[in-house]
Amino acid sequence: MDQKQEKSVSDGLIRAIAERTGPLVITGMVGSAGALLAAGVSRELKLPVLVVAASTKVAEQLQSEINFFSGETGPPVVYFPSYNISPFKFMSYHNETAARRIRALYGMIDGHRAQTTVTTAAALRQRLIPKTVLAGSAELIIAEEEIEPDRLVAKLVAGGYTRSVVVEEPGDFCVRGGIIDIFSPLYDTPLRIELFGDFAETIRFFSPASQRSLDHVHEAVILPAREVTLEKDQLDAIVGRFRARAMELDLPRTTVRDIVHRIKEQGVFPGIESLTPLIYDHMDTLFDYLPDRTVIIAENPAELAQAAEKSSQLAQVNYHKACDDKHLCVEPTDLFLNWEEISHHLARREAISIAPLAVVGTGDRPTMDADVADNSDLALAMGQARKTDQPAAPLIRWIAAQQDAGREMVMVCETDRQVSRLAAILEPHGVTAVTAGPFPQRLRPGRVSICRGSLSAGFLWPGDGLAVVTEAEIFGPRVKRPRRSKKSVHTELLAFSDLKQGDLVVHDEHGIGQYDGLVKLDLEGTVNDFLLVVYRGDDRLYLPVDRMGLIQKYMGVEGMMPALDKMGGRSWERAKEKVRRSAEKIAGELLKIYAQRKVNDGHGYGAADSHFADFEANFNYEETPDQLKAIEDVLEDMRSTTPMDRLVCGD
């Protein structure tokens, strides 16, 4: 096979996908090759793509991998998750999960840009809010045009939004005088709409952490926060369906009465998503949301069937328990598709099935072999070489073999640190790599690229002239230390929601005062929320909520109660002056110490060589950002002739 033919295999697969007249099976797809194919289909065919995986872990990894192969200019890749709570548990679903689902569904409806969606077998089973209802619930707000604030607020409540003092996560909204803050699921940051009468004077994004304005926008779309909308004109019909179902289950009348009361008091309450078949006259599925020409790629259909069956069994168990506990609930078939129904939809949509091995029982469906190999031989050789004095030898031989075959090599590392280490290891062997760039969209025979990304496994695709290898296959698997999850909003400002009446706070200008609660004040016809802070002599400070950043919670010595400052008094100024003088004194002493240190000479070590890079790269644990910074700072100090002044402590 000549070079031109070798580089046409993936093009041939994409062409076959475009020209298919029924379901297609592609075998021999190992490692992350399936993600590369999905990215290629989206890029070349300019069509929406749906990729279905067996589990949440695999789906999230696929989303990351398709993004990696798509490059910076590729179409958006979104994840449509299943609910994070078992069905019929009647508990509140996580706001972030609901937001991701709503955003993905609206992206399919919107159609301005063909998106790639990754989901799971469990999510594919779930019946959804009707497409027409979600599309009709979207509210377009345009700057400098008239809106009806009261109608907008009523629509937010009907769509499952929660009224809060401070908007901090998707599904929150807040009304303060002429300002409406809304965290729509469509966006990563909340919106602030400033009203002038009944006109939206300005629309801008703002940071939930600092409350500071970000970009101004001309228009914004407000989506429901939940997959349930409770319009007032539909409540009678909904209550009627609730009563009819309660009679079928022989439930007490008080059950429906309590639910109706919750709807009137709370609107969309926790767990109501399990009753959506009683809220709408029909339910849609994810297949109803997909645009007509969507390319569906099912990864390992046998595993998908197993995952769907497991999800079905769990739903049945929870349904029977809900019935035993006398909860109002619907039949599982009203909430979920079974695998036979899903298979029918997949066949009707001419889905692509991909698998690492030949699939048994494909019938008359056409089958193509991608002929992709894994990197198991390289990983085994590298593992054995780590115990020798030439740990990089198998990698160098592998690179030479790929270059002789005219293939491009893409090495994928998870951190910039590992990218630099790998480049330093290759350089003494005469291998110059292109580093820190995205995945190359145009392949060049013999080139070595080191990219930052995260792939489950590498692969060798001879027909495409491409060899992809991961850092785990080169250096061995790394042990990732558990880290604290970073919440989207975790700030000093929002911590004031935890303030209790009587807590001490410190104002930048007025000093120590006592927080006395949140009050509403009507100033010139505008009602706003204010924090009341009381100072000595019953002085009172009314601080607008949007200026919370001027105060912080008092953190003093345990067991000692400080005296309150007086507004306009000298006690706070004297305290700040005393601290300033102490700081200047300490700074003077430090200046003398460092001046003496600069005069003395120490020993400067040379730059780290390739042996040191090998030693670093074979470290079995993933360093934290703080550890990496400490290591680099120590090495920098060791290279300097100035005596080192550093103490590194660890647990």
What are 135's two structure tokens? 């599309």
Which tens digit of pLDDT belongs to each residue from 177-202? 889 999 999 999 999 999 988 888 99
Which tens digit of pLDDT belongs to each residue from 552-566? 888 776 666 778 888
Residue 531 forms beta bridges with which residues? 518, 543
Cα 146–Cα 152–Cα 154 angle in degrees, nearest 5? 150
Which residues fall within 8 angstroms of residue 607, CB to CB, at 6 or more apart?
639
**How many whole angstroms separate alpha carbon 437 and alpha carbon 419?**
10
**How many whole angstroms separate alpha carbon 453 and alpha carbon 64?**
8
Question: Helical H runs in 512-624?
Answer: 571-599, 610-617
User: Does position 304 have pLDDT exceeding 90, yes or no?
Assistant: yes
Phi, psi of 499 (to 5 degrees): -65, 140
Cβ(77)–Cβ(67) below 8 Å: yes
Cβ(215)–Cβ(133) below 8 Å: no
User: Does position 529 have pLDDT exceeding 80, yes or no?
Assistant: no
Cα 609–Cα 613–Cα 619 angle in degrees, nearest 5? 150
**How many whole angstroms separate alpha carbon 213 and alpha carbon 220?**
15
**If you average pLDDT over residues 534-548, what whole number do you get?**
80
pLDDT for res 2 = 39
Cβ(489)–Cβ(208) below 8 Å: yes
Length of the chain: 651
**If you average pLDDT over residues 337-364, what whole number do you get?**
84
Cβ(173)–Cβ(208) below 8 Å: no
pLDDT for res 509 = 79
Which residues fall within 8 angstroms of residue 643, CB to CB, at 6 or more apart?
597, 600, 601, 602
At 367, is the secondary structure helix, strand, or coil? strand
**How many whole angstroms separate alpha carbon 63 and alpha carbon 118?**
6
DSSP secondary structure code for residue 295 in this structure: E
pLDDT for res 255 = 80
**If you average pLDDT over residues 456-483, what whole number do you get?**
85
For 358-387, give one letter per residue: b (16+ CB within 10 A) or e. Answer: ebeebeeeeebebebbbbeebbeebeeeee
pLDDT for res 160 = 87
**How many whole angstroms separate alpha carbon 171 and alpha carbon 441?**
38
What is the sign, positive or negative, of the torsion defined by CA atoms of 349, 350, 353, 354?
Answer: negative
Which residues fall within 8 angstroms of residue 234, CB to CB, at 6 or more apart?
279
pLDDT for res 484 = 53
**How many whole angstroms separate alpha carbon 393 and alpha carbon 428?**
12
Pairing status of strand 466-470 against strand 459-461: antiparallel
Cβ(62)–Cβ(69) below 8 Å: no
Distances from the Cα of 205 to the Cα of 184, 194, 545, angstroms:
11, 11, 18
At 207, is the secondary structure helix, strand, or coil? coil
Max CA separation in the chain (angstroms): 92
pLDDT for res 6 = 38
Residue 527 forms beta bridges with which residues? 522
Average pLDDT of every residue of the chain = 84
User: Does position 477 have pLDDT exceeding 70, yes or no?
Assistant: yes
**If you average pLDDT over residues 504-526, what whole number do you get?**
78
Phi, psi of 66 (to 5 degrees): -65, -40
Which tens digit of pLDDT belongs to each residue from 112-127? 678 899 999 999 999 9
Cβ(82)–Cβ(56) below 8 Å: yes
Candidates 347, 248, 333; CA nearest to 298 is: 347
Cβ(553)–Cβ(495) below 8 Å: yes
Cβ(626)–Cβ(430) below 8 Å: no
Candidates 467, 470, 375, 465; CA nearest to 418 is: 470
Cβ(78)–Cβ(105) below 8 Å: no
Say which amino acid occupies 624: T
* 271/302: higher pLDDT: 302
**How many whole angstroms separate alpha carbon 270 and alpha carbon 51?**
30
Candidates 125, 28, 117; CA nearest to 83 is: 125
Cβ(450)–Cβ(438) below 8 Å: no
Candidates 121, 223, 143; CA nearest to 182 is: 223
Which tens digit of pLDDT belongs to each residue from 138-171? 999 999 888 888 899 989 988 888 888 888 889 9
What are 532's two structure tokens? 């009341």
**How many whole angstroms separate alpha carbon 32 and alpha carbon 457?**
6
Question: Helical H runs in 452-521?
Answer: 471-475
pLDDT for res 126 = 93
Pairing status of strand 191-196 against strand 179-182: antiparallel
Mean pLDDT check: name the lowest of 267-271, 306-310, 346-350, 410-414.
267-271
User: Does position 174 have pLDDT exceeding 50, yes or no?
Assistant: yes
| Cβ neighbours of 590 (radius 10 Å) | 10
Q: Is this structure's pTM higher than 0.85? A: no
What are 12's two structure tokens? 């041939």
Share of the chain above pLDDT 90, in %: 34
The pLDDT confidence band at residue 33, using thresholds 50, 70 and 90, is very high
The pLDDT confidence band at residue 273, using thresholds 50, 70 and 90, is confident
**How many whole angstroms separate alpha carbon 252 and alpha carbon 274?**
19
Q: Where are the beta strands (DSSP E) in 54-131?
A: 77-80, 116-120
**How many whole angstroms separate alpha carbon 39 and alpha carbon 116?**
8
pLDDT for res 461 = 93
**If you average pLDDT over residues 331-339, what whole number do you get?**
92
Mean pLDDT check: name the lowest of 183-192, 224-233, 486-495, 595-604.
486-495
The pLDDT confidence band at residue 643, using thresholds 50, 70 and 90, is confident
Which tens digit of pLDDT belongs to each residue from 61-95? 999 999 999 987 777 899 999 986 666 666 656 77
Which residues fall within 8 angstroms of residue 585, CB to CB, at 6 or more apart?
none
Residue 200 forms beta bridges with which residues? 195
What are 252's two structure tokens? 């007490």
The pLDDT confidence band at residue 501, using thresholds 50, 70 and 90, is confident
